Structure 1
Amino acid sequence: MPLKKSDLYASIWASCDELRGGMDASQYKDYVLFMLFIKYISDKYGNSTDYAPPVTIPKGASFADMIALKGKPDIGDRINTQVIQSLIDANARLARSDFPDFNDPNRLGEGQAMVERLSNLIGIFQKPELDFSQNRADHDDILGDAYEYLMRHFATESGKSKGQFYTPAEVSRVIAQVIGIGPKNTKASTTAYDPTCGSGSLLLKVAAQAGKHITLEGQERDVTTAGLAR
């Protein structure tokens, strides 16, 4: 059964609730986005031979492996070393600065408090209704929808301009049309470049408007936001 957006949004916001208190929205967004990322990649590509995953998930670094860490006293350190570092080692495009520190006591609490918080966070994304494996259509952009949902709420909660995080979908589509991006006049050799790409939302919408694989390039001054784009 395809994943319902209402279930996805509810789970996402429940994960935000789990992290509130130890940090503000500009900080906990990184943890939530990582959980969404690893769950999506694991569900969509983990057991499939039909798709070449955009990110290589080495042995021991899938969402299922994170589930196995629930309740362990060193869960934060294990996520950092077993999951995140393994992803970095297996994917040249990824860097440590792209990911949050899951063993930070200042943000996640100390001792058992950290164990419970991270175990609960994993449990939220473990719910059976949050299954991306049924959403395999090329035109399915449920991850993009979830991403925009998060960016809107993070910007509102952190008090920052939404423009720092993402470009609204409506604006992105207009820009794509203005620069002539569309299925009829876009070639495989087409490259879209955003000199201030933020989290990459504009580039993703431009790619969607193209209707085929194109090259996306961007640069971003803010290290954390650039990590989201990658």
Structure 2
Amino acid sequence: MITSEEIKARLWNGATELRGSMDASRYKDYMLGLMFYKFLSDKTLKTFAELSGLSTDVDVFEEYQKAHELYEKDLEKMISDNLGYVVKPKYLYQKWLNDMNTGQFEVQTVTESLGEFERSVVSTDETDDFNGLFSSSTLDLSDTALGSDLNTRSKNIQALIRLFEDLDMVALQKSDILGDAYEYLIGQFAMESGKKAGEFYTPHQVSEVMAQIVATNKSLTSIYDPTVGSGSLLLTVKKHLSEEQQKVLSYYGQEKTQRLTT
């Protein structure tokens, strides 16, 4: 499995594709958005494979396409009941990659995929956090910062999509490597952009020290961050608590801007 440092190096090298023409905060939004959509696609395929009892040596994407042709609505409901959302075969990240490999890629397909995902989400307390996740204000694929013309934008978007092509996001999420990559992006690019708006990122090392101090309180039942930002400080505290403490702990946070990530 790829290491945390290897992912960080890949993200940094990939930044050269857009960094010259795009503000750091916007670049970060595209990277995080595409990375998370890859996770949603991988999770959909993994859930389908588990529910269908597929062996590990089959092409899950191909099997998912076949099953969807036969059981469309029933299959979507089965996955949605388990995840609270579903990514249909034609909107999967893997479909984008397939289109790129066959010369059929269109930027509009990505835009449609992101919009379709939000429409597929079943409204619950947990999934309400997905609302507006891929809105045009966050991921505007027509932004001229991505390129002055459609061909240039398409080339740059494809380069970003390729960054996560071979990564199993579900496995990385379980090993917390995905979380490390997220914090790396925030740390590298949020500081530069945040200063312009009076926003400042708390370095991970500082968060660790603060979290360890808070975690020494064995009777802790709630934690509050008045400048919660991405919520990483609250989650860092959680990592230093026992399973028993985590079960009774309540998390609270507020943020002035509307660009809060949860």
Report the TM-score when normalising by structure 2: 0.67
Q: How far apart in 2 are the matches of 1:135 and 1:73?
A: 27
Q: How far apart in 1 are the matches of 2:44 and 2:222?
A: 26
The structure having more radius of gyration, on CA atoms, is 2
| Aligned-pair CA distance for 1:142 | 1.0
Q: How far apart in 2 are the matches of 1:207 and 1:221?
A: 23
Q: How far apart in 1 are the matches of 2:205 and 2:161?
A: 33
Tell me which residue corresponds to 2:6: 7
Matched, 1:101 2:131: no
Structure 1, 98-107 or 54-63: larger mean CA deviation:
54-63
User: Mind listing any 5+ residue stretches in structure 2 that lack a counterpart?
Assistant: 52-80, 122-126
| Aligned-pair CA distance for 1:28 | 0.9
Q: How far apart in 2 are the matches of 1:39 and 1:6?
A: 19
Bigger proportion of residues as helix: 2
Q: Select the residue among 157, 168, 171 that pairs with 1:131.
A: 168
Q: Select the residue among 206, 215, 221 that pairs with 2:237.
A: 206
Residue deviations 1:30-64, cap 9 Å, x none?
Answer: 001112222234445641449x9877343244422
User: Mind listing any 5+ residue stretches in structure 1 that lack a counterpart?
Assistant: none
Q: Select the residue among 140, 148, 165 that pairs with 2:183.
A: 148
Tell me which residue corresponds to 1:113: 152
Instruction: Output the aligned Cα RMSD.
Output: 3.3
Matched, 1:37 2:61: no
Counting aligned pairs with the same residue, the percent is 33
Tell me which residue corresponds to 1:178: 213
| Aligned-pair CA distance for 1:92 | 2.2
Tell me which residue corresponds to 2:117: 86
Tell me which residue corresponds to 2:228: 197
Structure 1 counterpart of 2:151, which letter?
Answer: Q
Structure 1, 97-106 or 204-213: larger mean CA deviation:
97-106
Report the TM-score when normalising by structure 1: 0.75
**Aligned positions, number:** 215
Instruction: Flag the 1:171–1:57 CA change in 2: closer, same or farther, 3 A.
Output: farther
